Structure 1
Amino acid sequence: MEPYRIKVVEPIPITTREQREEALKRVHYNLFDLRADEVTIDLLSDSGTGALSAAQLAAGMEGDESYAGSRSFYRFRDTVAELTGYPHILPAHQGRAAERILFSSLLEPGSIVLSNTHFDTTRANVELAGCQARDLPCPQARNLDSEEPFKGNIDLEALRRELAGADGPKVAAVVMTITNNGGGGQPVSMENLRQAADLCRRHGVPLLLDAARFAENAWLVTRHEAGYQDRTPRQVAEEAFRLADGCMMSAKKDGIVHIGGFIGLKDPELAEKCERLLIATEGFATYGGLAGRDLDMMAQGLLEVTEPSYLAERADIAAHLAQRVRVAGVDILEPPGLHALYLNAGRLFPHIPAHHYPGHALSCQLYLEGGIRSAELGSLYLGEEDEDGNPVKSAPYELVRLALPRRVYTRSHYDHVGRTLEGIAKKAESVGGFRIVDQSPILRHFRVKLQPV
């Protein structure tokens, strides 16, 4: 059962099918443009969508809003330093701000960044710095149906080749995303992280963690990796941070706050460069674009997130939804993680070609049938087409992510998701695809306009 009781409730919108049809047309079938009050169950993202605890709200009341040197900053800094072991801690208003500052300070045009999988904004910030982002997912990640527990690992042989090869001198950093969101929310093993750290040290390349979901990764390590069954998630997380040279984090995930993030570093020179850019673009180094109350709530959230009872319930509710989805006749990327389920839309809609976006078709159908908002992670997100709409590059898989907000929805809400998918699966052949009518040259899935084929 949930290790908490509900103190405050918020009504959710209940709309009609006709209202949802009209809403989809109005936003040109881009679910990002829906108003929140048109969405019944919002599984678009787990970023900043969690429910605060009473202790976090109480901590926020202690917020010191001094411009420089606030008490809130020092409470936050000490909490993060104790967790990560890094001596240099810089707050930022969210993860992509931390990425921009870190990459702008670390990278030079033409540099290469290697990763188990870059997420969309991470890749964008690498490319905006005039650099190249290369993904090296492990071979096991290609099998969506296997129960292999650590599909989020980096391909160590590929990493070794890249670091030792002709482009090795151009590699400015290796980023390990834990858990691997772009790879289906799959965890990274401690052994894989340890070997990647060893390779990076031998080649003089910094290893950085994209630590947005560090606690969920740690939980899965304690469940599945030999030698860690008797360790706490907190102990595993501390070990992971200390294997790396630094991190960037969106605390809107495993900080369980609505806004916030940070950079943690061992290197004093790099930290100084980041601090100068932070002050110029985000705010003074002791607030980084955040209110004091945000810093205090983030510090408390970082303590709560590694509690075994919290993580056990989060894993259980993800498993509950996964089973409902399987019973509905829809395949998912196995095994299910904690922060999201990834639906195999390509398998559900084999009649829709990649350049007509089967994942987006499923996302729209989920909204139309059940008022459920989700995110496509397929060829709309990763693909490319020529000016006539013909495919140039398609995604390897056509997926839809159901992101699970922290401490927000109950099992009955997720049962509604399962029933909606069951109805869609029974008439899958009647669902059609989409074509793009307008798009942005970067991160197109956020602002794209489409129409049904």
Structure 2
Amino acid sequence: MNRRTAEPYKIKSVETLAMLSYEERKDSLNRAGYNTFLIDSEDVYIDLLTDSGTTAMSDKQWGAIMTGDEAYAGSKSWKKLEATVRDVYGYKYVLPTHQGRGAENILSQLKIKKGDFVPGNMYFTTTRAHQEMNGATFVDVIIDEAHDPVAEHPFKGNVDLNKLKTLIDKVGPNNIPYVCLAVTVNLAGGQPVSMQNMREVHELCSLHKIDVFFDATRCVENAYFIKEREVGYAGKLIADILKEMLSYSDGCTMSGKKDCLVNIGGFLAMNDEGLYIRSRELVVVYEGMPSYGGMAGRDMEAMAIGIREAIDDHYIEHRISQVRHLGSQLVEAGVPIVLPIGGHAVFLDAQAFLPHLSQDEFPAQALAAALYLDSGVRSMERGIISAGRNIDTGENNRPKLELVRLTIPRRVYTNNHMNVVVDSIIDLYKKRDTISGLRMDYEPPTLRFFNARFAPLSESGELLN
């Protein structure tokens, strides 16, 4: 008999959730231009838009907030965070930023020159935007299986070493400032990278004197998959696996709003002293003093504790199991999702879910809007809208994956909330032919998925017909 488990925490404080009627949700969705990013939080029942900054902090973190040192320079709270990052992640130098994209901005400005190429294991929206704004071309070197939603490869985030070697030979190592390695890979479905692949990428790049920088936002989740799936790691602690992972990089960008278990903050870490000195100067320009970098002392206190709580083996086991609780029920019901189930979210395959819609009718955006309309559950499009336009041709980038991301915040919802999400998605799948496509009425020039506005294509003007 498989005995059921419960969340490894108990609830001390509660927040009442909105439970709007169908007509109220319809009105809210219309006001938001059918863009889930533009729906007011007070109109959302279960919010699976993102796991970024939506964590429920622990009692220890809330207690530490009261001890925050808000000194403008030389904060004690910064010293505590700096020491924690060095201890847990192993990097020599650390600079605080207001969140992950602050670190991406600084790294891109310092490392990239116009005409460079930045290879990565699938793009991420803000990362790619910073790279392109500084004159680089992103090149996807992820394995082919990552673009196949039903492929059951255990490490779909892996870099294809032949693709990387081909790029190095074609453009030359001097035109590759660094390899951007995401652990895990968000847009592939929260898919992990194996330890062996990290090691091989680092060895290849070291041979050509190319740096490797991790997007370490969800690195603890990646460590869990290594423990579970890779030979030789089953008996190791998550903390030890994580330390080895990061040893195969020259630095990282970190959004503390994910695996550091806080609501704001991030950092840029590295081992090169020269790069650290240059980065420290830009932190002053864009973020703040190198001893706070856009964070309050209380935020740094909370992050220092969150970093250690995240590497607790019981915590991360429950984190992954809750995502699987959601995903496995959808698989059982025949709903098409990205397989294997990833670390931070379940990704609906919108093209398979809505085969009657072409990619130009924005099936992922339509499905995310329909889910909110049906149940008040907010999710996120991760398809052609998120992919944006080619910076040279102006044509839509057309990703092979057209997905809706159901992102589970850390320590926020119970499995009963996940059951509500499952019921809504299964009901929508049964009436999927009634879901209309969308047209884009307003398109921002950059990162359009945040602020674009849409309208249904149906003759009735209704999303669900």
Q: Classify the TM-score, shorter chain.
A: over 0.9
CA contact (8 A) 2:84 2:304 kept: yes
Q: Corresponding residue for 1:394?
A: 398
The answer to whether the aligner puts 1:425 opposite 2:429 as a matched pair is yes
Aligned residues: 449
Counterpart CA distance in 1 for 2:31 and 2:116 is 42
Alignment-derived partner of residue 28 in structure 1: 33
Match of 1:133 in 2: 138
Residue 268 of structure 1, CA deviation: 0.7
1:46 shift after superposition: 0.3
Aligned to 1:228: 233
Give 1:9-408 correspondences, 5 Å limit.
9-382=14-387, 384=389, 393-408=397-412
Aligned-pair Cα RMSD in Å: 1.4
Provide TM-score, normalisation by structure 1.
0.97
Once the two structures are TM-superposed, the CA of residue 142 in structure 1 deviates from its matched residue by: 2.8
- Which range moved further: 187-196 or 308-317? 308-317
Question: Unpaired segments of 5 or more residues in structure 1?
Answer: none
Q: SS state of the match for residue 165, structure 1?
A: helix
SS in 2 for 1:395: coil
SS in structure 2 opposite 1:360?
Answer: helix
Q: Displacement of 1:167 after TM fit?
A: 4.2
Indicate conservation of the 8 Å contact 1:39/1:373, yes or no: yes
Give the AA of the match of 1:82. Answer: D
CA contact (8 A) 2:184 2:343 kept: no
Q: For 1:82, what is the secondary structure of its paired residue?
A: helix
Which residue of structure 1 lines up, in the alignment, with residue 463 of structure 2? Answer: none
Alpha-carbon distance change, 347 to 3 in structure 1, aligned in 2, over 3 angstroms: same
**SS across alignment from 2:268:** strand
Distance across 2 between alignment mates of 1:230 and 1:419: 37
- CA drift of 1:413 comes to 0.6
2:448 is aligned with 1:444 = yes
Equivalent position amino acid for 2:255 in 1: S
Give 3-state SS (helix, strand or coil) of 1:200's partner: helix
Letter paired with 1:433: G
Tell me, in whole angstroms, the C-alpha distance in 2 between the residues paired with 1:164 and 1:341. 37
SS at match of 2:177: strand
| Contact 2:78-2:292 at 8 Å conserved across structures | yes
Deviations 1:185-220 (A, max 9, x none): 100000000000001100111100100001000001
Q: Could you tell me the percent identity over the aligned residues?
A: 39
Separation in structure 1 between the aligned mates of residue 224 and residue 109 of structure 2, nearest angstrom:
32
| Partner SS, residue 322 of structure 1 | helix
1:164 deviation in Å? 2.3
Letter in 1 for 2:329: R
Which range is displaced more, 108-117 or 189-198? 108-117
In 1, Cα distance between the equivalents of 2:233 and 2:332? 32
1:407 corresponds to which letter in structure 2?
R
Give 1:147 deviation, angstroms. 2.1
Query: How far off is 1:321 after superposition?
Result: 0.4
Offset of 1:129 from its aligned partner?
1.0
Deviation at 1:384, TM superposition (A): 4.7
CA contact under 8 A between 1:64 and 1:70: conserved in structure 2? yes
Amino acid at match of 2:316: L
- Report the TM-score, using the length of structure 2 for normalisation: 0.94
CA distance in 1, matches of 2:446, 2:87: 37
